[in-house]
């Protein structure tokens, strides 16, 4: 359908301006125009008719005011077809007033929404709550509301053209303020109900639900900043763990900064938002800012007698000390947090305090005590079903195992860590797991593999502007320094580039098929020079046809070499062959 829309635009554009020449960048812009116009033929034809006046790039830039841009049309057309606005107005005029009211109010949603959200937001005045279901169904039947079905659930959305029209009608009906207030209230409630559950076994299901509402959270925050700053602050504070697990660290900090500026009063909501802001800031290494935010959070929490927030903010200050490589201060804050957490009997807080005590011991190279604290915290987290916390602690136990040169154990706990957090943490969090395998490979002397995994992890982190945690960074950098000496610049750069080109899925799949042993593995398989070259190209992602072309051999010959390599190595597929190549320096 999209290619047909592009063809329609080009056909109508040439009719309006026969000499028009279009380049590759123009085709990409036309595709974007057609997407923004929801593939509506009339809208596309009207946009193409503007080519004699505007370039395609100028048309794309003006689509925010599409009803003004897309006026005119063939004079022989019916009046309702002469402009996009007239066409939509005609459809709107055919609706009964309750249907119009529902359509207007649905325009405050950004992206998709659920029926529960619609029922909460559109009901009121002339629309009874019990009538929302039937009215929404009627709008779906008339193709004014679209449906999407995922995992047994139905979500709804408006075509952007319809949404813009309906939003203008919402303002004309003087309903914007009340409808957007209800939208804000609904999403504050959703986030606040979800927040405590994100610390337990429900997190895996909730993170997908919250992710689907991301655009609506943004819309609610944007409205709340001017209309109800206190609600906006509550929403920002409640979204903290979602922003953290979903890797929206920079975006979260921006919203928190804005909402905190709008709410200087020392309330519990401010204390929570300050902690979230400090948590995200310290992970992005803005340690001075993080310390100031968390100190204010502790101060307000104490003044408002919010002991839970006191314990959590003290933990945050301990993490800043850890990031500053100050184990003494990290331990002091951990013990202070633990004291409050034990008085409250809060197992989640207790586990975090023990977790940080383990890090403080590790910083002092007391690996035995570090392991003991981690294992105590892990036992609690397994009991309460804290998937993210379990995955993180398994990773920390793997770091201790590497330091103690128990490589097989490290590989096992790193693998289990991934099982716990996969589907919960997004790309930045999972890049930590790739880095774990880079650290393990470097410690074992598998340098090509170490550099490749480190390159993949770095590429993922750069997109999110958040570095590795210090403990992992130290291990990875040690391996990379040794790798540069052992491999030389050319092979090092080649392995790094291979990792940078990997997707997250490719890097994780490869890490899981690479075996680990307590001693550095050695290759005992005898490959011919040609087979070694084929394996090298295979590990770089070349197809059989590309391998044949590069080695100037027949495709059937390349196939035979690959079969021989699989048989000699005892592997079943390209992923396992690539893992072998990385481990034994054939990449």
The predicted pLDDT at position 79 comes to: 46
Domains 95-174 and 523-587 share a fold: yes
pLDDT at 73: 46
Both tokens of 197, joined, read: 């559950």
Low-confidence ranges of the chain (pLDDT < 70): 1-2, 42, 46, 63-84, 86-87, 90, 514-525, 583-587
pLDDT for res 142: 83
Count the residues in the chain.
587
Quick one: pLDDT at residue 361? 97
Q: What is the pLDDT of residues 222-273, one digit of tens each?
A: 999 999 999 999 999 999 999 998 889 999 999 999 999 999 999 999 999 9
* Token representation of residue 506: 């490719």
* pLDDT, position 83: 58
The Cα 93–Cα 109 span in angstroms is: 22
Q: Is the dihedral of CA 460, 462, 464, 469 positive or negative?
A: positive
Query: Distance between CA atoms of 341 and 337, rounded to whole angstroms?
Result: 6
pLDDT digit string (tens) for 118-165?
Answer: 999 999 888 999 999 999 999 998 878 889 988 788 999 998 888 989
What number does CATH give the domain 523-587? Answer: 1.10.10.10
What is the per-residue pLDDT for 77? 42
CA atoms within 13 A on the CB side of 86: 13
In order of 427, 502, 510, 580, the CA distances from 575 in angstroms are 21, 13, 6, 9
The reported pLDDT for the residue numbered 299 is 98
pTM: 0.77
Classified by CATH at the fold level, domain 95-174 comes out as Arc Repressor Mutant, subunit A (1.10.10)
Residues 531-542: tens digit of each pLDDT: 888 888 888 888
Check residue 101 and give its pLDDT. 96
Q: In what order do the strands lie in the sheet with 146-150?
A: 112-113, 153-157, 146-150
Angstrom distance (rounded) from CA 164 to CA 70: 13
CA 320, CA 290: separation in Å to the nearest integer?
7
Q: Given this model, what pLDDT does residue 159 score? A: 83
DSSP state of 81: G
pLDDT of residue 185: 98
Q: Where are the domains of the chain?
A: 2-82, 95-174, 386-521, 523-587
Look at the alpha carbons of 80, 81, 86, 89 in this order and tell me if their dihedral is positive or negative: positive
């Amino acid at each position: 359908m999209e290619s047909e829309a592009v063809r329609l635009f080009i056909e109508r554009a040439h009719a309006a301006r026969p000499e028009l020449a279009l380049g590759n960048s123009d085709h990409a812009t036309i595709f974007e125009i057609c997407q923004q116009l929801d593939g509506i033929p009339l809208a596309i034809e009207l946009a193409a008719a503007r080519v004699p006046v505007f370039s395609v790039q100028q048309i794309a830039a003006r689509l925010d005011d599409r009803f003004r841009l897309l006026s005119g049309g063939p004079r022989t057309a019916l009046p309702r077809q002469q402009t996009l606005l007239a066409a939509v107005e005609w459809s709107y005029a055919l609706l009964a007033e309750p249907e119009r009211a529902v359509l207007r109010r649905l325009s405050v949603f950004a992206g998709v929404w659920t029926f529960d959200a619609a029922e909460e937001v559109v009901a009121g005045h002339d629309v009874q709550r019990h009538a929302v279901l039937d009215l929404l169904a009627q709008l779906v039947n008339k193709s004014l509301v679209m449906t999407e079905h995922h995992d047994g659930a139905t979500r709804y959305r408006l075509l952007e053209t319809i949404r813009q029209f309906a939003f203008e009608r919402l303002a004309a009906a003087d309903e914007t303020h009340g409808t957007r207030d209800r939208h804000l209230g609904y999403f504050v409630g959703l986030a606040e109900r979800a927040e405590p559950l994100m610390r337990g076994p429900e997190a895996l299901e909730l993170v997908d639900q919250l992710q689907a509402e991301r655009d609506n959270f943004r819309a609610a925050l944007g409205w709340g900043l001017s209309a109800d700053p206190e609600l906006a602050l509550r929403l920002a504070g409640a979204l903290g763990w979602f922003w953290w697990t979903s890797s929206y660290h920079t975006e979260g900090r921006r919203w928190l900064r804005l909402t905190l500026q709008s709410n200087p009063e020392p309330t519990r909501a401010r204390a929570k938002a300050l902690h979230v802001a400090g948590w995200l800031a310290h992970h992005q290494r803005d340690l001075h800012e993080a310390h100031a935010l968390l100190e204010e959070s502790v101060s307000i929490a104490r003044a408002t007698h919010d002991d839970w927030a006191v314990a959590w903010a003290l933990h945050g200050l301990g993490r800043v000390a850890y990031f500053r490589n100050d184990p003494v201060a990290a331990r002091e804050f951990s013990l202070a947090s633990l004291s409050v957490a034990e008085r409250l009997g809060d197992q989640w807080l207790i586990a975090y305090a023990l977790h940080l005590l383990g890090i403080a011991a590790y910083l002092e190279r007391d690996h035995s005590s570090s392991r003991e604290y981690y294992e105590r915290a892990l036992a609690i987290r397994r009991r309460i079903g804290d998937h993210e916390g379990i995955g993180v602690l398994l990773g920390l136990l793997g770091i201790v195992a590497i330091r103690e040169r128990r490589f097989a154990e490290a590989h096992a706990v790193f693998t289990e860590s991934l099982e716990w957090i996969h589907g919960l943490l997004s790309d930045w969090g999972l890049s930590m797991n790739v880095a774990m395998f880079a650290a393990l490979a470097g410690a074992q002397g598998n340098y090509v593999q170490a550099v490749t995994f480190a390159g993949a992890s770095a590429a993922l982190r750069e997109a999110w502007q958040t570095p590795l945690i210090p403990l992992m960074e130290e291990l990875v950098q040690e391996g990379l320094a040794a790798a540069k000496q052992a491999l030389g610049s050319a092979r090092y750069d080649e392995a790094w580039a291979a990792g940078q080109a990997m997707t997250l899925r490719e890097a994780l799949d490869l890490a899981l098929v690479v075996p680990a042993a307590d001693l550095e593995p050695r290759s005992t398989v005898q490959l011919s020079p040609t087979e070694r070259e084929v394996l090298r190209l295979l590990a770089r992602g070349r197809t059989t046809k590309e391998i044949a072309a590069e080695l100037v051999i027949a495709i059937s010959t390349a196939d035979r070499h690959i079969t021989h390599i699989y048989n000699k190595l005892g592997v079943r597929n390209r992923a396992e062959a690539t893992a072998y190549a990385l481990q034994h320096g054939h990449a």
